A and B are shown apart, each in its own frame.
Chain A
Amino acid sequence: MKSSVITFPGSNCDRDMDVALTKFGFKNKMVWHNDQELPKSDLIVLPGGFSYGDYLRCGSMASKSKIMHSVINFAKSGGLVMGICNGFQILVESGLVPGVLLRNKYLQFICKNVHVKVDNKENTFFKNLDKKVLEFHIAHNEGNYFCTNDQLKEIEDNNQIAIYYCDQNGNTNDQINPNGSIKNIAGIFNKEKNVLGMMPHPERMIDESLSGEDGSIFFKNLLNNIK
């Protein structure tokens, strides 16, 4: 299976994502933001980092870069696109997934392990996953998901919420919400479920010496689903 990771100026999880995808059997290519064409891919990943320094709204500059035209077309024709952290912010800014990402509720960068509940398994990203709760890792300053009531209704009606912040038993409540996200939303799909944006970094959880191994479960499952 072929994947491509886009490097924007200021991306800093591009290498980590490359390491993870390669480890689990993807043939991965790194793509420069200024390129116009995407290599033939089964999956496009927008990695974490601080594209353009996040000096304007996070992700907004990157969403206008050359390669994003191709990414948007790829997504609209049904191709799989995943945005992690800053990549999620870029997806939001480019309109591929609904909503916005505000600054964390307590106005601080947060780096820690969190649990997320997988709600919807009728999609390529989470199909056949045999766990309901995954332990992932977050590291962000602007992960506070927000949308209008109308949007929320639409998202819920369409089953677009991918993952929720929860405790280790899968309970979602305010106390375990790390950044103030509406409804504890940690990740979201587009309507067609071929685009996933999420704040947690599965690529940081890919072996027992790191923060955990649930990232391995996620990537292995994803690869099997694409095959």
Chain B
Amino acid sequence: MRTLFSALVATTILAGAAQAAEIYPLDRATILTGSPFDFKAEFSAVVKPEDVKITVNGQDYKAALGKEVEFVAEEKNKDKVLGSAVILRGVTLAKAGDYKVEVSAGSETKNVTWNVYGTPEQAKAKNVIFLIADGLSVAHRTAARIMSKGMTEGKANGRLNMDDVPPVAFVGTSATDAVATDSANTMSAYMTGHKTAVNAIGVYADRTPASLDDPKVETLAEALRRQTKKSIGIISTAELQDATPAAVVAHTRKRGDKAEINGMLFDVKPDVLLGGGSAYFLPQATAGSKRKDDKDYIALFKEAGYTLATSKSELATAAGTNTGKILGLFHTGNMDTTLDREFLKKGTVSKFPEQPGLVEMTKVALDNLSKNPEGFFLMVEAANVDKMSHPLDWDRAVVDTIEFDKAIGAAREFAAKNPGTLIVVTGDHTHGVSIIGTVDDDKPGTEMREKVGTYAEAGFPNYEDKDGDGYPDKVDVSRRLFLNANNGPDHYETFRPKLDGPFAPSIQNEKKEYVANEQYKDVPGAVLVTGIIPKSADSGVHAVDDIVLQAEGPGAEGFRGYMEQSDVYKGLAEAFALGAKQTN
């Protein structure tokens, strides 16, 4: 045992000292047969092209990879020379099995093993509806159930739609460069089958600073276009260029490349595209544009046969058209939360009063996509669950979880009538949020902290849903759920829903540090909560905890037990038989 241990230590030290080469795809990558990807090897030294040796399963690489690599003598970060590299774009491996790839040059060597997998010839599912609530944690689900349905003597008074979709897997969400994670690399893993680095989408993160040259992997949308004639739909309450919707189609090291991502959406042309982010469709001369060129993507999509909808009513009209292609843009930025849109009329609702909700968008998309006899893939994202969990605005996050659940209801209704439909329900990562009890305004005193009920003192919240719409009639009831994050910036805890607009817990000072937003200081009973993460952080952060994945319908058996996020792609690829050409 001791010998083994010291041997391990020695290997680790050697690896560190030699600054070995790096290979993309990384070791233990899982790759769909026939799915194009870019191969890259980076050396830490400048080497001669004739010294570079690459083998695949012991043979010269050209037989397996099909073509010759391009040699880059010096990769640079500004003036700093990073070393030489070889790159080969658009490689495909047709045969399933393990591929041991060995690269050497001078004193540097590196080997990785890729697992290439095939799929059955026959698809199990005609349609897949992939419903994702960004940041969906267990607390969001529990709170949504209690707020929507109520609870008596410890038993829920009703069930959410998601409560009847079997939980089948725990998903690990860590990135290739960190145990922690973000929505770019997480959704990218779902949509490509490759894990990648924080902020990256559809690529492995190489060392060069350019964000659009990193080694690409195929996205699900691209695989569907390559192998099938299925329709593709993308719905999000965020900007359509935001990480989650982007990952269905895009390739960039930096999720912030939103103007470029918009172009990638156009390249793939999903048949139904509904959400926010019109700012990236507008040419720079138009006020409100966030582009830095003159491209008018509104015009380009229209020329490509899309019916444009910019409001709830236009969406209803577009749903009746027969073009088969709908572009729905309902906000220049992220769409408002359900709580603001439907109830409080805060946020930006006065500027964009005609935004549809996630359920309407889902129904229109399902109606439209299901006209294709070949079937479809639809991604539905409830973005505000995450966007409101960051600023610790739990009421908005939970009400959007209820809306997400209603979208699941619409999907299940569709699946009941269309039995070839696989439904997957999950989040992309979690937040450090939990419910610890209630806040009861009627407890004695003025100190809000003393009105927090835990254990038996919590009692039950008194939300009501008299109109039966599934949403609590109001969130500011006298005894309400108390949700809390295990991290955050300095902020004032007010113990109350933020009825005047989304919570802004912290603001930046002249030292670029985030400090508690004084605006909430004078809310009666507010308590200063000192942050426990760096002062550069403006909001609560993602958690590293596993997320729950639920699935039902044909192909649901592809998701079981603990899965890496990248394994989820394999489940989707098998359900759709993406290893087999279906376009004859």
Do A and B make up one complex? no
